[in-house]
Structures are given as C-alpha cells and as structure tokens.
C-alpha cells in the first residue's frame, strides 16, 4: 500500500540530533527494494510473487523515476520486423558493443530472456506500437544489427513505468515515497536493512530486511552536462561501497552523442537515438555527413558506405547496411567532438541532427515525424522554439549512463556481500565498456526480475536479522552534521557545482593521466569543503540538507571513476585516453574493481574476466 503520512499541525523537526528511540522501526521486511524505477519495480513485483513481504523506497514520487526519460525502446530479439534476428545475434551485438569486457553470462541471459520480459510487459497492459499484422513493432538503433527495439513512439520508458507501477501496487507492496537512504545496515558481512529519512518531514526510519535490492540508477549528476534527472547522484553505488561491496567498470561512462545544446537552460536533455533510427542524419556546419569519414574496422562490414544504402536500411531494406549515424554511442560522441574541435561545429558548440530532410524521400514527412517522434517534436518546439519537421536540431554529447556499478553474480544479482543485491544501472557487468541503446530497458526487466526472485529466495533461506543501534546512531549523527555547520561558508550546491566542473573538464569524454591526477587533487579539496558544508532551518523538506547528503555520494563515485580511469591505460568503449589512444590486449581480459579498504581509503585492483565457454565464442564468430 502507499505510505500514508500524517499531515497534521506537528511542530517542525529541529536540527538537533534525535535520540535513537525517535526512529520508527518497521515491521520486519523480507525484501527491501531501494529505488522505484524499472529495475526496482520489477524486482519488487518478482519478490512479492515469491510470497515474501516487500517494501519499496523511492527518492522521488512513485512513477517519477528517471526510467520515464528512456525514449527509444526496449531491445529484445522478438524478430517481428526481421526474422533473421535471434538471441545469438543480440548477444554478439552486446558483446561487440561492450568491447568484450562484459560479464558474458549476464549478456547471454539478457539476450535469451529479454523477449519473454517484453511479452510479459505487454500482457500486463503495455501498449506498444504495432506492425501491420498486429505484432509489436521494432525499430533500428545504434549498434544493433537488425530492428530490435520494441517501442511506444518515443515514450517507451514512461509506458514501462506506468505498466509496472499499475501491476505492482495491486500486489500489497509497501511503497514509501520521497525517502532518502543514508546508510545500509550490517550484521557482520550480511546487509540487514537500511536507515533513511522522509524528505517531507525529516523523520528517520529504520528498514529491517532479510535481503536488500539496490536499484537506484546512475551517477550523471557528477557531471555538468547530463541527461540525468536530479536523482542520479550515485546513491546505490555509494551505499554499497561504504557497506563493503565491490564496484566494477567505473571508468566506463557513456556520453550519449545527441543531447540538446541550446538554449542553455535545457543543455544536455536527451534527443533519442530513435531520431537517427527513423532516418535522421548528422551534419557539420559545411553540410557534410561526417560520420562516413570514420567507420571502425570491426563495424565496416555492417555499415553503409553511402547515403543511399543508409536510407534504405532505415526504411526496412533487409539487404542494406546501417548508416554510420547508428554506430555505437561512444564512437558517435567522439566523432561529434572531433568536428567541434576542428571548427566545423554548429553555432552553439554541437553539430546538426536533421530529420526534416526526409521530406525529399517521403510524402507527408512532417506528419510522419510527429507520429514517430511526438516527444521530440514537442520538446524542441516548447523548449527551443524549433520545429524539427522543418529545420535541424543542434546536438552534442551529454553524460548519459554509467556502465560501472555494483559487482554482482550474473545469475542471482547478489553482490559480494550476503543479502545485498543490485539491478539496473547501479549494477554492472552486462554492458562492458559501452552500452547499446535500448539494452538498458531490457536490462531493467531481465535483471530486475532476477534480483527480486533471488532476494526472495535468500530471505526465505536465511533467518531473522538484528539491527545494531550503534550503527543507526552513528549514521544519523553523520547525516545531521550539516546543521552543526550552519555558520560555515560552504554551500552544498556550490560544492556540487564545482565538483561537476572538475569531472566535466578533467575526467570527461577525452582523458589524460595528468588531468585525471589533477582531478584527484581537486576531489580531495572538495571532500574537505564538503565536510564543512552548512545548512540552516529545520529538517522539513530542507533542500540544502538533501543536497548535502547527495554530495557525499557524488564525491565517492567521482573518485571511483577517476581512479579506475587512471588504472586502465588504454582506450576502450566509453573510456578514451588521449595519451593511450589504442586498445591494449593486456586490458582485454581484466575488469577494474574498486573497494573500500580497512583504512577507509579506496583500493583499486585488476580482476581477471572468467573464460567464455566455447559455444558462446562460436556464437560471436558466426555473427561477426
């Protein structure tokens, strides 16, 4: 049921540290899910189906998670548009996109199970676009060999959340909205719940659980230009790290090639890859389609070498190869930056994305564009005063997704800590060095289900838990420290802004050792400033206090990104180093792992990737 909060005439809570007995300890939960996006909702649904008591926490309001911003579609080898597609081709595409440092078991499970998860979503009420014969329609997307993305116009994530939310609230799941989690709680190595507070009233609560699932999304707010909503502050990454779990692949950040660049108020807002899937092209200020200039060797056989063939591909010609605009996101983003640095960019520092040109090819093009891309049409019309049916958009790279996250078991999604599971963007493995568009939504469904299922199994198999009140007291005291520094000059919003500048400028799309070492020095200084951040007023919806909590998480994930990026002395996927511009075979067989050491310092190590079975190697060879 939804959390019923009292809205009486209670006195505002003061900033003084509460006594332990002020906490409300909930009835014991079997499974606690932190995060109510696609992965969290799917995990809660599956755990509930396992017959256990489930609690679901969300930082925002239910239905407002960042998943709603996913536009293009959900990748699954349904083979409704091209019958040559299969799980094997999807698996090979995912591994190739991830530069073969993926967790191959997760990539295999994802490719095999995604079709069933999409059909399940349809059975629960999702209204997908349709083929002429009534099947789920699929569109082209970057890095996918065949049309694979099931979609609802360009509002697929919104439809997914609506469907999962409607299905989930009828299962008796306890939903607590507008909660910030400040610490996981442990009993030995086992995670046994979490401490959080109600953002509206500022009251702390202990959530006692036999198993906990993290589904908190990404870290985009560590950067100045990002497509991520305000919630993307690395909360799950930081909670897991501080509890002792391992994080992996944190150097791999995806900069989506097409975010809005003008006006400044909307800089970074995503422009779906579906625009290019429907025939949109990228041009520089000379009017040239520059993507034809740089087609990677491992994609050359699958990529059109002329505009005519590329157009035919977007219109469903099975004998045509994909246009270079639909190469992987990391490559397209770097090509755009190359044009801008060479002085061939658009007036506001991007390039031009043009879908209006299709009027040369099809009748009633404006109507066709508005039907296929309704959100994009309204987004540019309302925010930039631009009609995409008649003129090109200005776009440029925006921080979009982190491939790194909590290191989990491929089958169960359990972390290196007993009782702690993770799914979605805050987990890692499936994507390797770069995520293919559309794989995020199917990842949420496949591994959200698996995390919920195995969390319920773990809860049933393991006994009751005990909460250590000393942990609760210490975490509460730390959380309230900004009120003790009310007279300090440090503003949490200013510190976060400075952090975003450091990451954008020194650990961005193009990286160098000297700059990243400088970033670590800057991050140390920012940590000291964060320790002196002060807020005033009471605890009721105190935005400064909320920002202070986020700041600690952002600093932790930023350090993990920088240290991992320094350790990987090569360029691969979303990690490009100007001082090591080529791939190094020595790094093709390892993942970079970070963990909190006994002294509280971040430890970085190289962990060998498990050998891939011969049958999966054969699948990749057959689909090169």
Residues annotated as catalytic are: 256, 276
- Residue 354 near residue 392, CB atoms below 8 Å: yes
User: Rg (Cα) of the chain, in Å, rounded?
Assistant: 24
Q: DSSP class of residue 462?
A: S
The two structure tokens encoding residue 562:
């920088």
- Work out the burial of residue 500: count CB atoms within 10 Å of its CB; fewer than 13 is exposed, 13-18 middle, 19 or more buried: buried
Angle at 228 between CA 196 and CA 314, to 5 degrees: 140
The β-bridge relationship of strands 24-25 and 510-511 is unpaired
Instruction: Name the nearest CA neighbour of 452 among 27, 25, 56, 28.
Output: 56
- Closest to 13 in 3D by CA, of 183, 155, 198: 198
Alpha carbons 573 and 583: distance in angstroms, whole number: 9
Whether the bond between 263 and the residue before it is cis, its omega within 30 degrees of 0, is yes
CA 339 to chain CA centroid, nearest Å: 27
Contact 285, 467 (CB under 8 A): no
Question: In terms of C-beta density within 10 A (0-12 exposed, 13-18 middle, 19 or more buried), how is residue 513 classed?
Answer: middle
Question: Any idea which residue has 């057959």 for tokens?
Answer: 622
- The whole-angstrom separation of Cα 195 and Cα 475 is 8
Residue 403 tokens, joined: 């491939």
3-state secondary structure of 95: helix
């Amino acid at each position: 049921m939804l959390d019923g909060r009292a809205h009486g005439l209670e006195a505002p809570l003061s900033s003084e540290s509460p006594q332990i007995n002020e906490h409300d300890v909930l009835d014991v939960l079997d499974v606690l899910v932190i995060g109510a996006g696609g992965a969290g909702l799917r995990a809660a649904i599956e755990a509930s189906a396992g017959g256990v008591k489930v609690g679901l926490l969300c930082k925002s309001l239910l239905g407002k998670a960042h998943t709603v911003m996913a536009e293009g579609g959900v990748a699954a080898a349904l083979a409704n548009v091209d019958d040559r597609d299969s799980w094997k081709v999807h698996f090979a595409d995912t591994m190739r996109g991830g530069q073969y440092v993926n967790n191959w078991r997760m990539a295999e499970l994802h490719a095999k199970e995604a079709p069933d998860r999409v059909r399940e979503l349809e059975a629960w009420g999702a209204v997908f676009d349709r083929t002429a014969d009534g099947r789920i329609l699929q569109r082209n997307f970057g890095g996918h060999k065949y049309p694979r993305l099931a979609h609802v116009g360009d509002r697929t994530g919104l439809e997914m959340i609506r469907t999962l939310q409607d299905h989930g609230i009828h299962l008796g799941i306890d939903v607590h909205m507008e909660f910030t989690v400040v610490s996981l709680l442990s009993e030995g190595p086992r995670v046994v719940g979490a401490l959080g507070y109600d953002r509206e009233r500022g009251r702390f609560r202990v959530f006692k659980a036999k198993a906990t699932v993290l589904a908190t999304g990404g870290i985009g707010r560590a950067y100045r230009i990002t497509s991520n909503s305000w919630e993307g502050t690395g909360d799950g990454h930081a909670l897991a790290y501080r509890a002792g779990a391992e994080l992996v692949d944190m150097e791999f950040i995806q900069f989506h090639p097409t975010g809005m660049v003008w006006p400044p108020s909307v800089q970074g807002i995503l422009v779906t890859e579906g625009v290019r899937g429907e025939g949109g092209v990228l041009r520089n200020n000379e009017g040239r389609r520059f993507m034809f200039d740089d087609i990677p060797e491992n994609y050359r056989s699958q990529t059109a070498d002329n505009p005519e063939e590329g157009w035919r591909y977007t219109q469903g010609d099975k004998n045509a190869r994909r246009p270079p605009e639909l190469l992987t996101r990391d490559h397209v983003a770097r090509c755009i930056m190359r044009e801008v640095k060479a002085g061939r960019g658009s007036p506001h520092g991007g390039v031009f994305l043009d879908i209006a040109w299709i009027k040369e090819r099809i009748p009633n093009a404006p109507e066709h564009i508005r039907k296929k891309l309704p959100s994009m049409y309204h987004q540019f019309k309302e925010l930039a005063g631009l009609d995409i049916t008649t003129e090109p958009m200005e776009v440029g790279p925006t921080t979009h997704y982190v491939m790194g996250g909590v290191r989990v078991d491929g089958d169960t999604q359990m972390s290196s800590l007993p009782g702690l599971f993770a799914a979605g963007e805050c987990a890692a493995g499936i994507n390797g060095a770069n995520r293919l568009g559309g794989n995020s939504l199917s990842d949420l469904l496949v591994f959200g289900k698996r995390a919920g299922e195995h969390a319920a199994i773990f809860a049933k198999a393991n006994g009751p838990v005990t909460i250590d009140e000393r942990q609760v007291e210490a975490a509460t005291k730390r959380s309230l420290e900004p009120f003790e520094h009310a007279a300090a000059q440090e503003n949490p919003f200013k510190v976060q802004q400075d952090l975003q500048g450091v990451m954008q400028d020194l650990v961005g799309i193009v990286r160098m050792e000297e700059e990243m070492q400088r970033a670590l020095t800057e991050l140390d200084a920012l940590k000291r400033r964060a320790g002196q951040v002060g807020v005033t007023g009471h605890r009721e919806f105190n935005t400064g206090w909320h920002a202070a909590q986020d700041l600690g998480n952002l600093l932790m994930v930023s350090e993990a990104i920088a240290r991992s990026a320094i350790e990987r002395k090569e360029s691969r996927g979303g990690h490009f180093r100007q001082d090591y511009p080529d791939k190094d075979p020595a790094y093709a067989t390892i993942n970079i792992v970070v963990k909190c050491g006994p002294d509280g310092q971040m430890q970085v190590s190289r962990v060998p990737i498990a050998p891939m079975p011969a049958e999966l190697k054969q699948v990749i060879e057959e689909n090169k």
